[in-house]
Structure 1
Amino acid sequence: MRRGGRNAGIVADQPAHGSPRAGRPDPLRGLRGLSSVALTAAVSNAGGLGAYGLYGYSPERISATAAELRAATDRPVLLNLWVIDETDAAPDGAEPGAELLERVRPIFAELGVEVPTPPERYLPRFADQVDAVLEARPAAAGFVFGAPDPAAIDRLRDAGIVLVGTATTVEEAIALEGAGMDAIIASGAEAGGHRVSFLRPAEESLVGTFALVPQVADAVSVPVIAAGGVADGRGVAAAMLLGAEGVQVGSALLATSESAAPESYRRAISSERSRRTILTRASSGRLGRAIPNRMTEEVGEDPAPFPVQNWLTGAFRRVAAERDDAELMTLWCGQAGPLSELTDAASLVRRLAQQADELLSPVGV
């Protein structure tokens, strides 16, 4: 596949460790949530850019995970962080309300789990996480819910780390380019998981992938990576024709054998059940796209603020995952879930590349 006289294939050159402007993120990268070292390494080894999500990771855990990734692959990987401020990480006096606790108490009792006591901090300090990523020196660092402060960006760029931001609107893409991001993920409303809007409420930022990608491509000068509804070669080809230089694949990779998702979750993604997804705050307090289940129904849409809600439901969701109970997990999934297959990550990467090449070659892309 050719575009603009240079290779823009699904398995294009890996990002460099040198100048961030010279390094280009691969068109295919691993999913941000439910990460596993095996999945991240498999995507990178197959020619994509495997990504590993670090939400809630302490600096020590980030360092340990980076070491595991280096042992699993010698190819570039991306480490992804949520941009969190101290108000979120340690909200003053924030606790679940009595009504919410009454709604979730039967679930805790059924699983034999005690309702936890609120901690002093709900999340690590974001600045400490950035320091750990800087020390790990991945090929690329990704950010959702905004961008780090200018000083952190300068430090990461000086270390030769390619910086990737995620936008749900054109305005967010412009802001991220202005902040110093080297590439922009244009995340359409079809995407599974959290809606990572940061300039306007998520409900006001639900732009579809096919509308968002060409507008972002026209508005910024850095490479655009399309996300949301990409699960086969047709989605890859469509994204490239709309102006993207690559794609981010989430749900289809989550269904692969290397994923950390339990078996029942993987099967839900690749079944007709995923034809229906909803936007819900039940899991974390922030809006995200998931397959509806007993958890979303019984927890309801009147949650505690993030991250209190995420901490509370996480206490029973972990046990549900260990028991492979798909009704009490969060089944994050995009709208292209039914196009996914129960396969391995390397086979999926190769198939996407081959299908997209075949579709784009006749039109000279």
Structure 2
Amino acid sequence: MVGWRNRRFQDLVGVERPIVQAPMANVAGVELCIAAARAGALGSLPCGMLPPDSIRAQVPEVRAQVDAPINLNFFCFQMPAQADDSEWRKVLRAYYVRFGIPEPEAAALRLPFDEAYCDLIEELRPEVVSFHFGLPEEPLLKRVKATGAVVLGCATSPGEAFFLEECGVDAIIAQGWEAGGHSGRFLGGDPREALGLFALLPQVVDSVRVPVIGAGAIADGRGMAAALALGATGVQIGTAYLHCRESFLAEGQKKMLRDRATIMTNIYSGGLARAVRGKLIDEIGPVRREAPPYPLAGATSLPLFRAAMESGDFEFMPSLAGQNACYGDEPSAEKLTRRIASDALAILDPQS
């Protein structure tokens, strides 16, 4: 495709269109990665909730079906000490009874990037590696960069963007408050100060020299064009893909995306994340002080989510999504990618 005025990101990672398919844990995988890559976007695999052997199996599946760069995404939080979750269990106890399940044992569901994951990067040699919640320790980051992978980091403020650049990332994902899923904030501060994407983007672009990718409720060509006009050299799209057949979402959850508003909540993992409102949020509230810190709260609530899924009650499942979750009428992720890019290009360069 011709007409893209700033190809820094495309040339950096080797893709045709300046789109990153967001790595959405539990709702995206091999099929969505392949479909996005076939359309010229950067396909991503969410790895933060997978053991190394699962990732080792998925990468060859993608490689066998599409000749394109792959992005492997990992989390970089500090695992907190095991907390007393007795008050949190009291909050959830009525729901254990409602769904007829025993109280669960505590166990971490999300894992931070470590030696085992780093060994895997050295083995698999993905073209791109992205990190959420900051970056791994310097020795691990050096090993990742030594493989030749392009490293992406997520920033929610100009300060975080500057930090990432100083640490040597090759491009920055500027995540606005509108974005679905967990906020990537990692330098602390008051979350009430969080910036929306179109306030954040120009500040980040003006703060760093590396390419910047806009992320946050971009669901069509208009949003993509606006992000690029503000200085982004690419966009990351997540929630719009959830309506496609390649996502793992059931039809009931897709309907909730179309019909409901989203809200920031900590009840699914202990960390602030944007999700579609459901009965669980309405009944216990979106933010609970009793929830253990991220990611410990999720271990206690996972059996509840599984029981809800088995019963088809999507009101009690986490449906993480951005503020434009209602936009989604394209069943194919490949077609969606092409359409968003084409519509954006028509706005930015009508002569192309």
Is the counterpart of residue 290 in structure 1 residue 275 in structure 2? Answer: yes
Question: What is aligned with 2:22?
Answer: 31
Q: CA shift at 1:122, angstroms?
A: 5.5
| Deviation of the 1:123 alpha carbon | 4.9
SS in 2 for 1:226: strand
Question: Is 1:172 aligned to 2:160, yes or no?
Answer: yes
- Do structure 1's residue 45 and structure 2's residue 38 form an aligned pair? yes
The alignment covers a number of residue pairs equal to 345
Structure 1 position 204, deviation (Å): 4.2
Structure 1 distance, partners of 2:4, 2:333, is 26
Partners of 2:8 and 2:211 within 8 A in 1: no
Cα distance, 1:13 vs. partner? 5.2
Query: Structure 2 length normalisation: TM-score?
Result: 0.90
Shift of 1:316: 1.8
Q: Which residue of 1 aligns with 2:85?
A: 96
The corresponding residue for 1:280 is: 265
Cα deviation digits, residues 219-250 of structure 1 (max 9, x gap): 11111000002000000100110000010001
Q: Which piece of structure 1 moves more, 47-56 or 102-111?
A: 102-111
Q: Residue 76 of structure 2 contacts residue 112 of structure 2 at CA under 8 Å; is this kept in 1?
A: no
Shift of the 7–142 alpha-carbon distance from structure 1 to 2, 3 Å rule, reads: closer
**Contact between 1:231 and 1:339, CA under 8 Å: does it hold in 2?**
yes
Q: Decide which of 296, 320, 326 is 1:332's aligned counterpart.
A: 320
Cα separation, 2, equivalents of 1:342 and 1:179: 39
Q: Any idea what SS the aligned residue of 1:225 has?
A: strand
SS state at 1:142 partner:
strand
Q: 1:201 to 1:35 in 2, by over 3 A?
A: farther
User: 1:32 Cα deviation (Å)?
Assistant: 2.1
* AA aligned opposite 1:229: A
Q: Percent identity?
A: 35
Deviations 1:61-103 (CA, angstroms, capped at 9, x unpaired): 2222223332343321111001033x43xx24x2422x32122
Contact preservation (8 Å) 1:283, 1:296: no
What are the ranges of 5 or more consecutive residues in structure 1 without an aligned counterpart? 17-23
Q: For 1:165-188, what per-residue CA distance to the aligned partner results, in whole angstroms no more than 9, with x for missing partners? A: 000000000101111111100001
| Equivalent position SS for 2:13 | coil
Once residues 259 and 210 of structure 2 are traced to their aligned partners in structure 1, the CA distance between those partners, rounded to angstroms, is 37
TM-score, normalised with respect to structure 1: 0.87
Give 1:256 shift: 1.0
Per-residue CA deviation, residues 242-274 of structure 1 (Å, 9 max, x unaligned), is 0000100011011211001222112222x232x
2 CA distance for matches of 1:77 and 1:356?
23
Residue of structure 1 equivalent to 2:340: 352
Letter in 1 for 2:251: E
Distance 1:173 1:26 in 2: 23
Q: Is it true that 1:308 corresponds to 2:296 in the alignment?
A: yes
The separation in 2 between residues aligned to 1:233 and 1:340, in whole angstroms, is: 12
